[in-house]
Every structure is written in C-alpha cells, then in structure tokens.
Amino acid sequence: MSTFKNLIVFGAHGKVGQNLVKVIAKSSVKATAVVRGDEQANTIKKISSESSNITSTKLDLADASVSDLAAAIKGHDAVVLTVGSGGKGLLQVDLDGVVKAFEATVEANVRRLVLVSAIFAEHREVGIQSGLRDYYIAKHYADRILIDEFGKKLDYTIIKPTNLTDESPTGKIKLIKTLTEDLGSIPRADVAQVLFDVLNFQETFGKSYDIASGEKNIDDPKTYQ
C-alpha cells in the first residue's frame, strides 16, 4: 500500500473540493489547494483554520500553461482534480485545463492522479439524456485522453459520482455497474472521502468507478474490487 502525504488539489474551492480540504485538514496529510484568487484563498484558510497542513496557491487552470502547472505540481506526490467550470468554461477548464494538468503531472514526474468525472461519462446517451450534454462531452473526452494517452504514464483513478447532494456524509457507497440500475444520489462529502481514501488503494490504479450512496464502507479497499 502506497502512502501519499503531500497532495495538490485542483478545484479546491468547488463544493466537492471544499469538502476534500476539510477531510485533509483532519489528517496528517499536507495539501496545496489551487485557487483562482484571494477570495477563494480566504475561504480555504477559513475552512481549514484548525489545521496547519493546508496551504493555497493562485492559479487559473484555464489560462495557466503546462509549465506553470508543472511548477505548481512539482514536489507533491499526488494530484487530485475535482474541477468544474459551472458550465461557463467547459472547453477551457473541464477539457483543455484538465488535459493540461495531465501533461503537467507527467512533466513534474508525479504518477498518482485522481480525477472526478461524471457518472457513465463514457456513454454518450447518458449525456444526451442528462440535459448537460456539453458538460458530458467535456468529461467524456477528458476521461478518454487520460485512459488512452496517459494510461501508462500515470497511476490514475477516475471517480464518477451520480447526482450530488449537500446532505451529511454516510461513509458508505455502492459501485454502479450498469445503466439499468437506480443511480440514486451521493453527498459531496462522501465523494470527497472517496477521493482521499482511494489515493492509497493500489487496487484502484488504472480504473474508473461510477459511485452512489450505498452500503459499502468508503475506507475499505474491498469496496473497489
């Protein structure tokens, strides 16, 4: 079992990202939260005020070069990408920005990367039916590029949550295997816990998981088999 102790989190100011920062702040792991400006940095400082292991750095994933991103990533031992443009910059952030981060992770000689995508993003029909077609297109191709182009260069895990809620965490999930299953929902706090826990589960390297609330413990490696 690997032990990653120094993370960099892209999308740290998003709803899942903030939950992840809170999880990290309660651990012994250090993390750099990537934010776009002072207001976001202040939010990160506030939600991690009881911990000294969270710092922030200002960087815009859409505008930053691969070299800029690599410089930020260098010195960390794992990358978490939980980014989302909110529909205002799908190509610049959810697709190109994320792919630049893949390239930068390789350039920085870091192998471990965890990416948040969308449930069944590999199936175009899901995106068509979701009402978020452009969002799904961006996620679909970012995932494909990670798997096809970077699959041998990065120890990646793709986490694809179903409908997100702000309910209290349950600590439990299920893996959704087929399109015919009830997709249900999942608290953002549980998604954040998944992102944190799977970092050290080698069983998840090179794999993708569609997740919803369920009955299996998030912190059990067997959940992801």
Residue 90: alpha-carbon gap to chain centroid:
16
| CA–CA dist 217, 156 (Å, integer) | 21
Catalytic residue among 135, 136, 209, 224: 135
Q: Which domains does the chain have, with CATH numbers?
A: 6-160 (3.40.50.720)
Quickly state the pLDDT bin for 24 (edges 50, 70, 90): very high
Nearest to 81 by CA among 163, 20, 148: 20
Examine the residue annotation and report whether 136 is marked as an active-site residue of this protein. Answer: no
Helix (H, G, I), strand (E, B) or coil at 160: strand
Q: Quote the tokens at residue 119.
A: 């449930």
The pLDDT value recorded for residue 127 is 84
Q: Can you tell me which residue has the tokens 């399109």?
A: 179
The pLDDT value recorded for residue 2 is 55
Is the pLDDT at 126 greater than 70? The verdict is yes
Taking only the tens place, the pLDDT of each residue in 169-224 is: 999 999 999 999 999 999 999 999 999 999 999 999 999 999 999 999 999 999 99
Q: Are strands 172-175 and 216-217 parallel, antiparallel or unpaired?
A: antiparallel
- Burial (CB count <10 Å: 0-12, 13-18, 19+), residue 66: middle
Taking only the tens place, the pLDDT of each residue in 44-72 is: 999 999 899 999 999 999 999 999 999 99
The pLDDT value recorded for residue 177 is 95
| CA–CA dist 223, 225 (Å, integer) | 6
Q: What sign for the dihedral angle of Cα 148, 151, 156, 157?
A: positive
**pTM here?**
0.96
Is the pLDDT at 168 greater than 70? The verdict is yes
Is the pLDDT at 103 greater than 90? The verdict is yes
